[in-house]
A and B are shown apart, each in its own frame.
Chain A
Amino acid sequence: MAVVTARGLKVTRGGREVLHGLDFEVAAGEVLGLLGPSGCGKSTLLRSIVGVQAGVSGRVEVLGEPAGARGLRGRIGYVTQAASVYDDLTVIENLRFFASVLGADRTEVDRCLERIDLVDERDHVVRRLSGGQRSRVSLAVALLGQPELLVLDEPTVGLDPVLRRQLWELFHELAGERGLGLIVSSHVMDEARRCDRLLLMREGRLLAVGTPDEITARTGTTDVEDAFLALVEGQEGVA
């Protein structure tokens, strides 16, 4: 079952079209990677799904409702590129605040802290945490309120490889146990292998959609970075 369906998704910003009619789905229980260089429109695409992007046309349906519908608020966990937590509050104060906005109870705050492995940092002010810890706080907030879809904008950027692997394992656990759909963006092609399926994106268009194996097989390459290059060259060759 698709948790997100986009047909002809276009975004215009300041009179200029930045997403040029995208078609894709996110299925329940899958980790979909959105890969592409920075500036290619990944954040704009994710913001369109969450319903905070202006200038969207085409059809974007999320959990059976049009993106941005009132009923969707609280059903989507969203991590923006900035950590989007309060620097001057402690970890636990941040989580309690967002939990009360969502109407989630206190036991859930503890559950999310454990899940993201932040129990030892619970009383630390966020400003004093490392970049990696901050993005984990942000992720913990996104898990509050039992979301059915997680939209994560570069959640692993700048993290140490061990932590990055742990996070990807967590993403798969979440997708597996609750049938959650996850869409995770990254500009690091190495992360492609960690996703169930990929959207390869460049300059506001999708270059390819499929599993990492499908994409490498189709382009006769061995890794996704080469596949990306082959697709770009093919495209420019045709044009």
Chain B
Amino acid sequence: MRPRITLAVATRVLRQLARDPRTLVMLILLPVAILALLHWMFVDLPGFGFTSLAPALLALIPFIVMFLVTSVTTLRERTSGTLERLLAMPMGRGDFLLGYALAFGAVAVIQSLLAVWVSVMWLGLDVAASVVWLAVVAIADAILGTALGLFVSAFARTEFQAVQFMPVLVIPQILLCGLFVGRAQLPDVLRQVSDVLPLSFAVDAMKAVAEHAHAPGLGGDLAVVIGYIAAALLLGALTLRRRSE
């Protein structure tokens, strides 16, 4: 891998995004809009509906949005022939995927910061630990979505295949992450499955920040999320084949 090439890919992807303002605005504003919608739903109800759900959704929504966009993104390069050209050049497979990860990671940072800022300043979200940690966890979760999306896009051969990974990889994680049924209350087998899914760690980290001043277990959860990010990118790079049929 060469930093020069990785950075060239990252700048090029960002430049392409800048040429597509509709996608960029969607990426950055969608999580904020969904959180505002959630807040509105609970406006006339007593209790803490929004405050109890918002931390988990701050983990989920940027994750889902980034997954969706990145899971089809490198496939455009397959269709246009540019991937084949790049792989015939001194382009490392890791350079290619990491370049994409850096570019979309930058978008994920902006998106998550905005979502956290709006939730705390405007929607009255109150967390026990520091807001800084809320932002850190939100960013890590959005980058996790980016990395898993890139893995899928390296693995899939067509956009049609890529979109099918959303229900396969993402929906079970949403169901088992503790949002609907507390993870401790799940049947044994499902609990064990949920214990290894990356999104469970992401949501756990969010809950720790929301509910406890010292955010217990936050370091471990974050480390696992980062581990999954690295593993997804590495596996993605390995499944990218220079030779194709």
What is the interface of chain A, defined by CB distance below 8 A to chain B? 13-14, 50-56, 68, 73-74, 76, 78, 80-89, 93, 97-98, 100-103, 125, 141
A103-B90 CB under 8 A given contacts A54-B245, A97-B12: yes
Distance of A88 Cα from B24 Cα, bound (Å): 14
- Chain B residues, CB < 8 A from A53: 243-245
Contacts of A98 in B (CB 8 A): 85, 89
Say which residue of B20, B81, B244 sits within 8 Å of A54 (CB atoms). B244
CB distance from B59 to the nearest CB of A (A): 32
Which residues of B (116-166) have their CB < 8 Å from a CB of A? none
Q: List the A side residues contacting B84 at CB < 8 Å.
A: 52, 80, 84
What's the minimum C-beta distance from B153 to chain A, rounded to whole angstroms? 17
Docked complex Cα distance between A88 and B23 (Å): 13
14 contacting pairs across A/B (C-beta < 8 A)? A53-B243, A54-B245, A56-B243, A68-B243, A73-B91, A74-B90, A76-B88, A80-B81, A82-B81, A84-B84, A84-B85, A86-B80, A89-B15, A101-B9
Give the CA-CA distance A25 to B219 in the complex, in Å: 61
Q: Determine whether B19 belongs to the interface, using a CB cutoff of 8 Å to chain A.
A: yes
Complex Cα distance A176/B216, Å?
72
Please report the C-alpha to C-alpha distance between residue A51 and residue B84 in the assembled complex, in whole angstroms: 10
Q: A100: nearest residue on chain B (CB-CB)? A: B8
> Are the CB atoms of B5 and A100 closer together than 8 Å?
yes
Chain B 59-93 interface 0/1 with A at a Cβ cutoff of 8 Å (1 = within): 00000000000000000000111101111111100
Which chain B residues have a beta carbon within 8 Å of chain A's beta carbons? 4-5, 8-9, 12, 15-16, 19-20, 79-82, 84-91, 241-245
Residue from the list B4, B12, B86 in contact with A103, Cβ < 8 A: B4
| In-complex Cβ contact of A101 among B16, B19, B89, B242 (8 A) | B89
B91 touches A86 (CB 8 A): no
Report chain B residues within 8 Å CB of A80: 81, 84-85
Contacts of A141 in B (CB 8 A): 85
B8 touches A54 (CB 8 A): no
Q: Establish whether residues A51 and B88, one from each chain, have CB atoms under 8 Å apart when the complex forms.
A: yes
Known A68-B242, A73-B90; 15 more pairs at CB < 8 Å: A51-B242, A51-B243, A54-B245, A56-B243, A74-B89, A80-B85, A84-B82, A88-B16, A88-B19, A89-B12, A101-B5, A101-B8, A101-B90, A102-B89, A125-B19
Inter-chain CA distance A155–B86, complex, in Å, is 18
- Given contacts A51-B243, A53-B243, is CB(A101)–CB(B86) below 8 Å? yes
A85 to B80, CA, bound (A): 7
CA distance A78 to B80 in the complex (A): 14
* Smallest Cβ-Cβ distance to B87: which chain A residue: A52
* Identity of the chain A residue whose Cβ is nearest the Cβ of B5 in the assembled complex: A101
Contact pick for B15, options A73, A84, A85, A93, CB 8 Å: A93
| A198→B76 CA distance, assembly (Å) | 35
Residues of B within 8 A of A84 (CB): 80-82, 84-85
Q: Which residues of A contact B9 (CB under 8 A)?
A: 101
Residue contact A86 to B16, C-beta cutoff 8 Å: yes
State the CA gap A54–B12 with chains docked (Å): 28
- In the complex, what residues of A have CB within 8 A of residue B245's CB? 13-14, 53-55
With CB as the reference atom, state the residue of chain A lying closest to B82: A84
- Judge whether A85 and B82 touch: CB under 8 Å: yes
Q: Which of B15, B19, B20, B242 contacts A52 (CB 8 A)?
A: B242
Closest to B20 in A: A88
With known contacts A52-B88, A93-B15, A97-B8, A83–B81 Cβ distance under 8 A = yes
Q: Which residues of B contact A52 (CB under 8 A)?
A: 84, 87-88, 242-244
A205 CA to B32 CA, complexed, in Å: 60
Q: Please state if A82 and B80 are interface contacts (CB–CB under 8 Å).
A: yes
Report how far A56 CA is from B243 CA in the complex, Å: 10
A238 to B96, CA, bound (A): 52
A44 to B19, CA, bound (A): 34
In the complex, A20 Cα to B183 Cα: how many Å?
59
Q: Which partner residue on chain B sits nearest A81 by CB separation?
A: B81
Contact A102 B81 (CB under 8 A): no
B80 touches A87 (CB 8 A): yes
Give CA–CA (A141, B88) in the complex, Å.
Answer: 13
In the bound complex, CA of A85 to CA of B83 (Å): 10
* A13, B244: Cα distance in complex, Å: 10
B82 partner residues in chain A, CB cutoff 8 A: 84-86
A52-B244, A81-B81, A88-B19 known; A73-B89 Cβ under 8 A: yes
